[in-house]
Amino acid sequence: MDLTYTAEEDEFRARLRAWLADTLPQLPPRPDPADWPGRRAYDLGWQRRLYDAGYAGLHWPVDAGGQGATPTQHLIFLEETEQAGAPYVGANFVGLLHAGPTIAAEGTAEQRARWLPPILRGDEVWCQGFSEPDAGSDLAALRTRAVRDGDHYVVTGSKIWTSHAEVADWCELLVRTAPVTARTPKHRGISWLAMPMDAPGVTVRPLRTLAGSTEFAEMFLDEVRVPVANRVGEENDGWRVTMVTLSFERGTAFVGEVVACRRTLGALAAEARKNGRWDDPVLRRRLGRLNVEFHALWRLTQWNVSEAQRTGGVPGAGGSVFKLRYSHARQELYDTAAEVLGAGALDADHDWVLDRLSSLSYTIAAGTSQIQQNIVAERILGLPKGR
């Protein structure tokens, strides 16, 4: 793969830098991290600015409302916005990086016209209703059921770790539309629905994380009626559609964070030089190895995005390689931050300390490391499944 930049890509980078330099000083103050309605408004406002400037859904195909940018332009966008300290997608995470790309790949023309423009404009927020209390890492063991009643499904069950549920307008929801039997394995009989969060019967209870934030919630569904027209893909084919969603989550959703980690690594080195911990050769070697690690992850990102473009826009199993290695590298980065901070690692108000607490979830979120290892072993290395 040619990793050099063309004149057109260099021009794109320069134009983006100029826009960021002009736009970022105009942004209002960031809201308190605990103020989720305020964060929703702030994130939607940033998304609208991106939309008006032609940077919303940069990598989405043109027929889905995106700009049809090349993979390299997409990576340049992520790199420049992160280095400039621009707002992250925040509350728009699920819509922009999970549900939107899935609907673009699997939805009907009517579904794409209904849901994609509001996501890109910053009009609507989505949450993810996949995980369940009794399913653990075995997503296919979900038990939330959807019973067909004319033109609607009647949905009953519960979800947990529902990202951004308390401020969401829509939920990408996995339900069981056929019971598990000897002839219907658990991976079949699942459907992917778009559920309006204001529907009667939806109850949301925020969950407080170790870091004190509430971006997750429990969600209880009591005979919620969801139109059949809101089903993406065929009935009982939801597991295949879900694999499309998860391939985006594992393959491209964390891309911008690699750049953020590289920036943090530079700040750690600067802090170590200032407080004297740079004199420790073991720490210096660790920082050097992490520098190489994140550069390698960036190259892997470039390859994964280019491969997705070549094969139709959906990231493949290579996303699991990235997600597996990135999760552990991020945890090691913030463990190293604790070494640099020394006693300051106990200061819960320090950003690096909060990021360290947050990093503990990365080997669980978007599929546990054990699940990713199985995917790599079976789908890439061709090893037999365990018995």
Amino acid at the residue 74: H
- 360-387: string of b/e by CB count within 10 Å (b at 16+)? ebbbebbbebebbebbbeeeeeeeeeee
Comparing CA positions, the residue from 153, 151, 149 lying closest to residue 191 is 153
DSSP 225-279: EEEGGGEESSTTBHHHHHHHHHHHHHHTTTHHHHHHHHHHHHHHHHHHHHHTGGG
Q: Which helix (H) or strand (E) holds 157?
A: strand 152-159
Catalytic residue numbers?
A: 249
According to DSSP, residue 314 is labeled -
The SS3 of residue 171 is: strand
State phi, psi for 342 to the nearest 5 degrees.
65, -130
For residue 249, the one-letter residue type is E
